[in-house]
Amino acid sequence: MLRYFTSGESHGEALVAFISGLPAGLEVDVAYVDRELWRRQQGYGRGGRMKIERDAAHVLSGVHHGKTIGSPISILLENKDWKNWQEALPVETGDPAKHKRVASPRPGHADLAGALKYNFSEARYVLERASARESAARVAIGGLAKLFLREIGVEVLSHVTRVGEAELSDEVKWEKIRALWEKEEVLLNCADADAEQRMKAEVDRALRIGDSVGGVFEVVAHGVPPGLGTYAQWDERLDGLLAGAVMSLQAVKAVEIGSGIQAAGAMGSTVHDEIGYNDGAFTRARNNAGGIEGGVSNGEEIRVRGYLKPISTLRRPLGSVDFATREPVKAAYERSDVCVVPAAGVAAEAMVALTLAKCALEKFGGDSMVETKRNFEGYKEQLRKF
Ligand SMILES: Cc1cc2nc3c(=O)[nH]c(=O)nc-3n(C[C@H](O)[C@H](O)[C@H](O)COP(=O)(O)O)c2cc1C
């Protein structure tokens, strides 16, 4: 069974991600994982932190001579900023005077809910873990899940369809999304140059007025075989698993599969994807279902969209209350991004890849890649003969 966890605080010494259940014999290209980490750090509208960090995966266990050995894998990502925080966030008791209190909870962050829950008198420890710095750890193990999926012909990438009010409404073909991955400079990871400029203008507007913007990314999984997930039990449905995985990302507030949101207001005949048969294969004229019907992948591309709220930390902070005095104050401000839609898309790719890898391993099993691929080839043969 594929299982994964992350640990680490935003300004702690390091993040650590764990993944267990990957078969032995999977080739691990650490440079590929590092490029995924780099992609998460890109995008117009990111803050100063991204200039400090340049994430690199330090594999601690489970990979030897370039291949997985079937045992749990742990990956460490150093926090370069740690050197500036050692006295503020020591592991030992340290000097309480050096602690950097977050005196007034920021609306839209976990600050207040977390302080109430864990009985903290201020929000420092809350934001340290609730911060989306954690998503870097997911991207690291998501990179391994992507390498595994490649072995069975599946690729997972994302692109941005909306920033603030600037939107790209046309469907974007896989080849264009693939071409975005090749780019060495990421602006807003949008496949249409004109829409990207409009998106950039939205970020500029937010920057000018000390505000923030959200948006929408779409994750596309290409080459997914039919039959991942099942309708047989509610918690094994692929749409539910993907929705949970993408929604678990910081700032994602809605998830859509295929044309789900638009479909809610349309007539059924315009929504459902008619089935044909050509050249020995079932075909679809369109993919409004986003590649999933009845909680099962149907062989079409899986398309999952994540809707991001605007970043909560504002240069012109909203009203809050001082934790100690309960007097009204402006919310605390800490260095922040203004727009993170492209980065959130990369983190969502990781969550989609991890979810698909888990489902694929449940379907095909195998303790080694040889076994997994043999089982996969057997299934493909079964589909050919169907
Ligand atoms: C890649 C990424 C980077 C983020 N960077 C910031 C940031 O710099 N400042 C901020 O206020 N929120 C940022 N967020 C969002 C917050 O982490 C998130 O809104 C907050 O933890 C509250 O969680 P919730 O929005 O899921 O309720 C980021 C989110 C993602 C996905």
307, 311, 338, 351, best to mutate for ligand 1 pocket (most atoms within 8 Å of CB):
311
Cβ–ligand 1 contact at 348 (below 6 Å): no
* Residue 40 Cα: closest atom of ligand 1: 1
Cβ–ligand 1 contact at 250 (below 6 Å): yes
The per-residue pLDDT for 107 is: 97
Cβ–ligand 1 contact at 344 (below 6 Å): yes
124, 213, 250, 337, best to mutate for ligand 1 pocket (most atoms within 8 Å of CB):
250
Q: Where are the domains of the chain?
A: 3-385
Between the CA of 337 and the centroid of ligand 1 the distance, in Å, is 8
Which residue puts its alpha carbon closest to atom 11 of ligand 1? 313
- pLDDT tens across the length of the chain (386 residues): 999 999 999 999 999 999 999 999 999 999 999 999 999 999 999 986 666 668 999 999 999 999 999 999 999 999 999 999 999 999 999 999 999 999 999 999 999 999 999 999 999 999 999 999 999 999 999 999 999 999 999 999 999 999 999 999 889 999 999 999 999 999 999 999 999 999 999 999 999 999 999 999 999 999 999 999 999 999 999 999 999 999 999 999 999 999 999 999 999 999 999 999 999 899 999 999 999 999 999 999 999 999 999 999 999 999 999 999 999 999 988 788 999 999 999 999 999 999 999 999 999 999 999 999 999 999 999 999 99
Cβ–ligand 1 contact at 311 (below 6 Å): yes
The 3 state secondary structure assigned to the chain is: CCEEEEECCCCCCEEEEEEECCCECCECCHHHHHHHHHHHCCCCCCCCHHHHCCCCCEEEECEECCEECCCCEEEEEECHHHHHCCCCCCCCCCCHHHCCCCCCCCCCCCHHHHHHHHCCCCCHHHHHHHCHHHHHHHHHHHHHHHHHHHCCCCEEEEEEEEECCEECCCCCCHHHHHHHHHCCCCCCCCCCHHHHHHHHHHHHHHHHCCCCCCEEEEEEEECCCCCCCCCCCHHHCHHHHHHHHHHCCCCEEEEEECCHHHHCCCCHHHHCCCEEEECCEEEECCCCCCCEECCEECCCCEEEEEEECCCCCCCCCCEEECCCCCCEEECCCCCCCCCCHHHHHHHHHHHHHHHHHHHHHHHHCCCEHHHHHHHHHHHHHHHHHC
CATH of domain 3-385: 3.60.150.10
Cβ–ligand 1 contact at 331 (below 6 Å): no
Between the CA of 63 and the centroid of ligand 1 the distance, in Å, is 32
50, 313, 337, 338, best to mutate for ligand 1 pocket (most atoms within 8 Å of CB):
337
Cβ–ligand 1 contact at 340 (below 6 Å): yes
The per-residue pLDDT for 195 is: 98
Between the CA of 153 and the centroid of ligand 1 the distance, in Å, is 32
The per-residue pLDDT for 333 is: 87
* Residue 127 Cα: closest atom of ligand 1: 21
Cβ–ligand 1 contact at 332 (below 6 Å): no
